[in-house]
Amino acid sequence: MYPILVKIGDFTLHTYGVLLAIGFFLAVVLALKEARRIGIDSNLIMDLSFYVLIAALLGSRLFYVLGNLEEFRDNPIDAGKFWRGGLVFYGGLIFAFLTGLWYVRTHHLNFRQLADLMAPSIAIGQALGRLGCFSAG
């Protein structure tokens, strides 16, 4: 376990956050490359990636808070402080998937084609995210 990558004074860079960010970046790069190869507008993929990232963060934090309500009873404002830890994978997955469905319908995209395009990216992002969890303990 190696939860802290760098600590300089009050600044702490956690391994989990770094690996999560790298995973997201690599996932987007791979999705953009595949989109260009099959002729899908890369701007659609960038926008989708942004919305899915926000939805995944909100969903994963919401599910954590709902599962640990007693932790936030005295200080409900702490529920929004996701940088202190507390993200639930399946909450992020559910919110990201629903956001992806909304995006596909709004932009009249082919769901199957987009799912095939995004699947390898999701796998890479998930793999690096799990390594981050392992590093965090």
Q: Read off the pLDDT of residues 56-104 as tens digits, 9 standing for 90 and up.
A: 999 999 999 999 999 999 999 999 988 777 889 999 999 999 999 999 9
Neighbouring residues of 6: CB distance < 8 A, sequence distance ≥ 6: 12, 13
CA distance 61 to 67: 10
The amino acid occupying position 133 is C
Angle (nearest 5°) at CA 97 between 42 and 135: 90
pTM attached to this predicted model: 0.88
